[in-house]
Structures are given as C-alpha cells and as structure tokens.
Structure 1
Amino acid sequence: ARRVVDFEILPLSVLGRPRVDVTLRISGFFRDAFPNLINLFDQAVAAVAVLDEPPSLNPLAAQVRQETDFWMKQGLSSQEAQVRSRYRVFGSKPGAYGAGLQGLIESQNWTDDQDLARAYINWSCYAYTSCPSQEGLGELGGISAPEAFEQRLSQMQIVLHNQDNREHDILDSDDYYQFQGGLTAAVRSIQGTNPQTYFGDNSMTAKPRVRTLKEEIARVYRSRVVNPKWIAGVMRHGYKGAFEMAATVDYLFAYDATAKCVEDYMYEGIAQAYLFDPVVSEFIQSRNPYALRDIAERLLEAQKRGLWQDANLQTLENLRNLVHQAEAVIEQKSTYLEK
C-alpha cells in the first residue's frame, strides 16, 4: 500500500552529506487526517537529535543541545527543555484552520511585513509533539509555543512548498500564499532578509522537480493567468468566470506581498489582458462589475505598496477611471434592483 509505517536512520557514511534540520508547518487538514505521520516525524526528530555526530554534519542535534541549555537557563526542567528544543512540527490551534492572513489581505488591513508576520506567527505557533511535558499533553495536542516557533524562524534558510498534483496551481487558492508566503514573511521579519523560496513539483512521483518560487509563479503566469485560451475558457462561465479572474489577481498580489516573488511585467500584463483588452474588459464589466472594480483596485494597491514599481502614470490613471466606471455600473444596477 506504500504506507510509511517506520523510519530508518542512515549513517553519515551512507547518506553522503550533512543531515538537514527541517521544520514542518502543517495545515489543519493534515493535522486531522494524518496524526500518525506527525507522530512518526516527531519520533524521527527525537532519534536524530541524540546521535553523537559532528555539529557540521548533524545541525539538528547541535541545535537541540544548544537550545536545551538555553531553555534550562530560562527556568525549565531538563526534560521540558529537551522537549521544547525538539519542536519541529507547528500548525494552527487545535480545531482551527488557515494561517491568519486572508482577512488582512482582503480587507487591506495591514501596513508592513510585521503585520503579516505577527498574524502568521500567532496562528502558526502551536507545536505538535508526541513527547509529554508539563506544557501540554503528549497525544499530539497543539502546545502554544510562540518563542520556540520564532527560534525556528530565526534559523530558517529555505521555505519549500510541495504539491503532488496538477489539478490546480499556486494561484488557484489563498492557501498557497497564506502558508508559504506567510512563512516567508515571518522569516523575513525576524532575519531581515528573504529566505530562499522553492516549489516542489511532485505531480510525477518518478520525476520530481524543484523550481524557485519565482520560476513557478512565472510558469503559472504564462501558462494560465494571461493565456488567451484560459481567459476564453473562463469567459464561458459568466459571473463565476470573472470572479475567478479577480481571485487570481488577488492571489498573485498576496504572494508578492508576502514572498516578494512577482515581477513588475506581470502586473502590467494582467492590466493589459484583463482590463485594457476591450473584449475581456466588456465581458467582466457586463457579467461582474464587482470583479472589474476589484482587479483595478488590487493593481492600484500593488503600485501604492511599492510592489509594482514601474507602472506608468497613464496606466494608473486608466485603472482609476475603470474603478469609477465599475462603481457607476454597480450603483446603476443597485438602483435598478431597488426600484
């Protein structure tokens, strides 16, 4: 059945490289569906952490020893300090889902990285471990551990998101930017620089591929976002099609706000393909004027926040005019409905 039921620690002589200290940020769905895998990963962390190997070849064990001493100096017992230093699986509070960023992005209720990072950390700082301690139960109960989570963020060099199918892409849902983008923003807020960001394409398990996040964003942008065939396809779905176009723009913007991964030409390309193409613009305005307004406003927000840096003045003026135009159509429709 290809189910993972146990693990084996390869000796360094067989592994042929240093071990890697990995932290998981799991989703609420993963937490609920696969507690056995969380437990297995937690056991693997504990086993690797006690190996007597050089720090340069086993950074996990070295970090656990260092942090155990740190937490003991903060007043924790030896057992509590060891447990906390091994936290490597984090997620949202038991019973909660998401990463806390969707509301901020949708309402534009944020100012800078610190706002996004704080929301992400507050939602993601629950450690899931099978090791019992006085801080919480050992049955994978989520233990609030913001200090431990921030320590993990301060050490993080790479943020990787894996996807095992091609049924949808990273601009199809808010989950992608919330989890990968949110983690990237949190690391950046603590370290002052962006970590390296990657996308793991495991849709073909025999030939997995890893791209930088910027490469994956560019691939999705070219193959779907501004692809005339995709645009023509969603136009067959009327109101819902226009909604999907607006949602795609929202997710692209949010990924850029959190992970700094969108190039200026992409904003310009969306403006040209969605709003300045007379056929497409007329379709959106007639079927879903709210989407027309939202797309134009989101592009203007990208420019205002410094994400879209090379927008020319005429383009911005045209976008403002489209917002006013869409508002007029919406008001007209509302007046008609009231009558």
Structure 2
Amino acid sequence: MAELFLKSPTANPKERSREENPKVEGKSEHKRERIIKNSRGTRIVRSLRVCGELQLQMNLLDRAIKMVAELDEPVEMNYVRKHAMEQAATLGVDIREAATRVFSNASGSYSSNISLAVENSSWNDEKQLQDMYLSRKSFAFDSDAPGAGMAEKKQVFEMALMTAEVTFQNLDSSEISLTDVSHYFDSDPTNLVQSLRKDKKKPSAYIADTTTANAQVRSLSETVRLDARTKLLNPKWYEGMMSSGYEGVREIEKRLTNTVGWSATSGQVDNWVYEEANTTFIKDEEMLNRLMNTNPNSFRKMIQTFLEANGRGYWETSEDNIEKLKDLYSQVEDKIEGIDR
C-alpha cells in the first residue's frame, strides 16, 4: 500500500511467520503524511484467492491498513486514521471495520457485469452500471476473521470511494490493451467515484504501462487516445483484421463496443475517436461494403454501437451521419433476413 510507511518484518519471506504482523514506521522515521488507496482485487486475484499464500497477502494488506488507522497520531499526518474515524462515526462501526480498504467480488463471482451490459446494450443509464459495480465489488478481505470468506461491506466500500481522488489500473501485457478486452472498463470506477464524491469532482484517472522495461504512467484519456490510434483507427491493424475475414470484422466491432464501455465508466473518450471511426468504417463506401459482405451481423452491431454512442451523448455528430447510419441499419437487417428490396 503506497505511503503507509510499513516495514516488512524480515527480508526473507521463508523465515517469516505466517502470523507475524507488518511493522509501522514511527512519526520520527517519515516526513510525509500517511495516505491510503482502496484496493480492489482483479479477476486474477479473485481466481487465485483460494491459494493460501495469496489469502495471506490480502490479509496482511488489510491488517496493515487497520494498524495505521489505530495509530495515536494527529489526523493531519495520518489520512488513513482521519477517514476511518469519520467513516466509523457516520456508519456506527468500530474504526477497524471502517478502515477496510481491500475489496473484490464475492467468492465464486466474476467481474462487475458492466461488460455484459455494455456488450448487450442492456443498461438504462450510468447509474445502473454504477450500482452493479457497487453490488458486485463490495466484498471485503477481513484479517480479523481469517477463513471466514468474503463479507459484503457495501456501505464501507461506498464511503471509502467517496474520498478517492485518483483511479488507477495497470497494463501488464503488450498484446492486450484497453479496448482489446472488456475487463479493463468493467473494473473502472472513475465515473462512480465522481457520483459518490460530495463535490462531484471527477478523480484523476491513470494507467500504468508496465509492458516494457521503461514503464510509463499516462492519463486514462491519453491511453485511450493512444489505443484508438494504434488499433481501431490504424490502417495496418484494421486491414490485418479484414484479411482474417468473418472473425476480423467481429474484432473491429469489439474494439468499438469496448470504446463505448470506456465512455460509460469514465467519460474519457474524445469525440474525434467516434468521428474518425465513422469516417473510416461508414463514410468509406468500399470499406462499408467489405464489412457488410464479410460479416453482416457484426457490421449491424457496429452501426448499432455508433447510434448508441450518439444517443447516450458520447458522440456529437451531424444529422447526415445519423441518418446514414439509420438507413444502413435497415439495409443490413434486410441482408441478414434475405430480403431483396
């Protein structure tokens, strides 16, 4: 946990007792205030937490945060304690429960299901997606009850997110980026945090690219722009997909759908991304016909996604573009149904 000022009990984990506590630096050993991050276990953590060693690590994180929250220190030097005390008073719980900051899905559960809602266009508004995130991701690791399973602590989770100022994810594969798969936006709470904050301020959102030796941290909006330029809007990429035939069109459609997912969870997709995608895949008559003839079902989903992006306010464009998309939707429907007009 960043900035807690913790010391590992021993350098060699083989020599460390499983029950040994982390140690906390005293005020004289550090010069900055203690801050905290809320940790949300990813899918891989959810899959591996049955492993005793991983469960131990999660419990150590939880124990460390609670130790810092209980330190007898001025709150201006210990924001962990400050927020935990405020949340304990509001919720009527003890400070250790209020200091819970390590959350994930319930045992046997997977993802927030936001990706499924976006993929199937089966959501009414962003509030519905945010409620899904809260209900699915509010299960806590609790070092005070080891082996008891994941307990739902939705109110604690909400209050912890209310004080968040930054959201953060990392890329760990050069082959899989933000729009290649849906789980990145499925795990993103940027708009959720904004909705929970009293001042309604959008948190800063960052992505760490650790796929090379020269790791970089970029803003989420910058990373989305980079991803659009290197994948969805890159002629070498989409022509490579088109050479794969039916499945290639589906891959293009998937990137467009995942881009809408980022709009829904973070609002960090620039208007030009949709506009240039429309120019590339819809305004170009030759490309349009290739897409329609190669995989009419995925092309229909692309048209639907463009219309949805406009209808939800993520893409502002001309009425001519919207009318063309509506006409195309009817044409591709007829093609799929075998209707010759």
TM-score per shorter chain, which class? 0.7 to 0.9
Does the residue aligned with 2:231 lie in a helix, a strand or coil?
Answer: helix
8 Å CA contact retained: 1:27, 1:97: no
- Please name the residue that 1:107 is paired with: 120
Does the residue aligned with 1:56 lie in a helix, a strand or coil?
Answer: helix
- Please name the residue that 2:207 is paired with: 199
8 Å CA contact retained: 2:166, 2:204: yes
Equivalent AA in structure 1 for residue 64 of structure 2: A
Work out whether 1:169 is the aligned partner of 2:189: no
Structure 2: how far apart are the matches of 1:60 and 1:106? Answer: 38
Work out whether 1:211 is the aligned partner of 2:226: no
Work out whether 1:24 is the aligned partner of 2:39: yes
Does the residue aligned with 2:174 lie in a helix, a strand or coil?
Answer: coil
8 Å CA contact retained: 1:45, 1:88: yes
- Please name the residue that 1:274 is paired with: 281
8 Å CA contact retained: 2:34, 2:79: yes
8 Å CA contact retained: 1:113, 1:189: no
- Please name the residue that 1:245 is paired with: 252
Structure 2: how far apart are the matches of 1:224 and 1:247? Answer: 11
| Identity over aligned pairs, percent | 26
Q: Structure 1 residues 63, 238: CA separation in 2 closer, same or farther (over 3 Å shift)?
A: same
Deviations 1:263-315 (A, max 9, x none): 11110111111222233322221121011111111111111111112x01111
Structure 2: how far apart are the matches of 1:3 and 1:117? Answer: 42
Structure 2: how far apart are the matches of 1:99 and 1:207? Answer: 31
Equivalent AA in structure 1 for residue 78 of structure 2: N
The runs of 5 or more residues in structure 1 that have no matched partner are: 133-137
- Please name the residue that 1:135 is paired with: none
Equivalent AA in structure 1 for residue 140 of structure 2: A
Higher helix share: 1
Q: Structure 1 residues 200, 140: CA separation in 2 closer, same or farther (over 3 Å shift)?
A: farther
Equivalent AA in structure 2 for residue 115 of structure 1: Q
Structure 1: how far apart are the matches of 2:80 and 2:178? Answer: 30
Equivalent AA in structure 1 for residue 76 of structure 2: S
Structure 1: how far apart are the matches of 2:215 and 2:68? Answer: 26
8 Å CA contact retained: 1:130, 1:140: no
Aligned residues: 317
Structure 2: how far apart are the matches of 1:279 and 1:10? Answer: 65
- Please name the residue that 1:126 is paired with: 139
The runs of 5 or more residues in structure 2 that have no matched partner are: 1-10, 17-21, 49-53
- Please name the residue that 2:103 is paired with: 90
- Please name the residue that 2:6 is paired with: none
8 Å CA contact retained: 1:116, 1:185: no
Q: Structure 1 residues 8, 231: CA separation in 2 closer, same or farther (over 3 Å shift)?
A: farther
Deviations 1:48-79 (A, max 9, x none): 223333322220022223333444xx3x5xxx
8 Å CA contact retained: 1:275, 1:292: no
Does the residue aligned with 1:290 lie in a helix, a strand or coil?
Answer: helix
Alignment of 1:286-325 (within 5 A): 286-309=293-316, 311-325=317-331
State TM-score, norm by structure 1.
0.86
Structure 1: how far apart are the matches of 2:29 and 2:233? Answer: 47
Structure 1: how far apart are the matches of 2:83 and 2:138? Answer: 19
Does the residue aligned with 2:76 lie in a helix, a strand or coil?
Answer: coil
Deviates more, 1:45-54 or 1:21-30: 45-54
Q: Structure 1 residues 282, 70: CA separation in 2 closer, same or farther (over 3 Å shift)?
A: same
Quote how far apart the aligned CAs of 1:106 are: 2.7
8 Å CA contact retained: 1:35, 1:140: no
8 Å CA contact retained: 1:28, 1:95: no
Name the Cα RMSD after superposition: 2.3
Equivalent AA in structure 1 for residue 291 of structure 2: I
Q: Structure 1 residues 140, 247: CA separation in 2 closer, same or farther (over 3 Å shift)?
A: farther
Structure 2: how far apart are the matches of 1:3 and 1:42? Answer: 21
Q: Structure 1 residues 12, 216: CA separation in 2 closer, same or farther (over 3 Å shift)?
A: farther
Structure 1: how far apart are the matches of 2:143 and 2:133? Answer: 24
8 Å CA contact retained: 1:28, 1:96: no
- Please name the residue that 2:19 is paired with: none
8 Å CA contact retained: 1:292, 1:322: no
8 Å CA contact retained: 1:199, 1:211: yes
Q: Structure 1 residues 13, 170: CA separation in 2 closer, same or farther (over 3 Å shift)?
A: farther
Does the residue aligned with 2:169 lie in a helix, a strand or coil?
Answer: strand
